[in-house]
Amino acid sequence: MLKIYNTLSGKKEIFKPIEEGKVGMYVCGNTVYDYCHIGHARAMISFDVISRFIRHLGYELNYVRNITDVDDKIIKRAEENNESTQALTERMIAAQREDELRLGNKMPDREPKATEFMQEIIDMIQVLIDKGFAYHGASRDVYYRTEAFKEYGKLNNRKLEDMLAGARIDVETAKEHPADFVLWKQAKEGEVSWQSPWGAGRPGWHIECSAMSTNCLGSHFDIHGGGPDLKFPHHENEIAQSEAATGKDYVNYWVHCGAVRVNNEKMSKSLGNFFTVRDVLAKYNPEVVRYLMVSSQYRSAIDYSDQSLNEAKVALERLYTALRGQAASAEYVPTEFTERFETAMKDDFNTAVAVSVLFELVRELNKAKTDNVAQAKLLAAELLALADLLGLLKQDPEYFLQNSTVSEGLDEAGIQALIDERTQARKDKNFARSDEIRDELADQGIELLDSREGTSWTRR
């Protein structure tokens, strides 16, 4: 049975879908005003793996991940760039999809944009006003009345007054309570806006997800996911809005992935340790980044550094080396490795243990290569099938081993030319030149592997 850690209850629970055989999952996506950073990559990869495994278990999954394409940050960045908000968001959405595909993610079933659900957002706000959960403030903005929702704070297991204790809060005179949050903002002159019963404006961030999720998956669905920074206030506010508007429980299982830290510090532009996915992929093969993300269980914090990426590269090279020159059977026959892999994944998607099973499988594969060719083919097929559930081992082994990092030195043609020269030097018994070429390549991180079939190479 699949067990999922539920943030709402604070414990692992046996997963029981609302509708047998079907799963609805909503994940909070990005606010598209800039390129994706490695924290975004962690969330995107985590929920890609979760979606793969849920489908592997036979469920019919409807995976929805939103795009926030109207927001204060978007408006500010568009003004700085002297471009329209639409031009900015379309450019960033295209960049995000490019990054994701390079990282090996499969796209969600649906990616609703906030701007496509403006009427649904307005309708939900009106319902909240009619029910007494929202009010039109003196500033002409519309606010959510947190004190009216008696269970406010249940996701974070904190009472409303405790959340405010010791905090510095600007009490706007337009608000009835310091914790009240905006549902509809009045637009400033020149800003992008939509007409509403409360004047021209745009929605608050929290209400966007409530409207999109309930319209795409229904008032009550199975799984809601996101990054660790979204638990409060975003997801707490989503619960308050959605349950007040529909009168139903909103979500059964709340799932949050762990944070990414950089050299044991919080990632921050002000600290100079902020890395976009594109920064990283300029130096490392995308699958190295993906391996780093899945080598820890999704709820664990990850420490990003050159050292951790290099360790991920070396580990992934071990898996690819086992497949180098190894044919895989067309038939996948599950063994005890599959059973143990699935057991790990059923325990709250524990990819760390699942990855360790892959290495045990590789040890058996390496043994079988020398004395049981048929068994080696079956084990190679099993390794590829299990790794696919993590989005790993999707490249040709020879290509990966030669391109696990991005080198500014010799390209493949240059490396091959030197290997050919070395092969001729060995035929001519010019061993001094042969050794010289090997050392020259080693200085550039190229390791040569001689065998009866010839010379192959790996970039180190």
Q: Is 106 among the annotated ligand-binding positions?
A: no
The DSSP annotation for 342-411 comes to HHHHHBT--HHHHHHHHHHHHHHHHHHHHH-HHHHHHHHHHHHHHHHTTT-S-S-HHHHHH-SB--SS--
Return the half-sphere exposure (C-beta side, CA atoms, 13 A cut-off) of residue 112.
23
- pLDDT (tens place) for every residue of the chain, 460 residues total: 999 999 999 999 999 999 999 999 999 999 999 999 999 999 999 999 999 999 999 999 999 999 999 999 999 999 999 999 999 999 999 999 999 999 999 999 999 999 999 999 999 999 999 999 999 988 889 999 999 999 999 999 998 877 765 444 555 578 999 999 999 999 999 899 999 999 999 999 999 999 999 999 999 999 999 999 999 999 999 999 999 999 999 999 999 999 999 888 877 766 778 899 999 999 999 999 999 999 999 999 999 999 999 999 999 999 999 999 999 999 899 999 999 999 999 999 999 999 999 999 999 999 999 999 999 999 999 999 999 999 999 999 999 998 888 655 666 777 777 788 788 888 888 888 888 888 878 877 788 878 776 887 777 7
Give the three-state DSSP class for 128. helix
Residue 404 token pair: 């696990």
Q: Can you list the domains of the chain with their CATH numbers?
A: 17-260 (3.40.50.620), 306-402 (1.20.120.640), 412-459 (no CATH)
Q: Is 238 among the annotated ligand-binding positions?
A: yes
Q: Is 269 among the annotated ligand-binding positions?
A: yes
Distance separating alpha carbons of residues 91 and 110, to the nearest angstrom: 19
Q: Is 234 among the annotated ligand-binding positions?
A: yes
Q: Is 90 among the annotated ligand-binding positions?
A: no
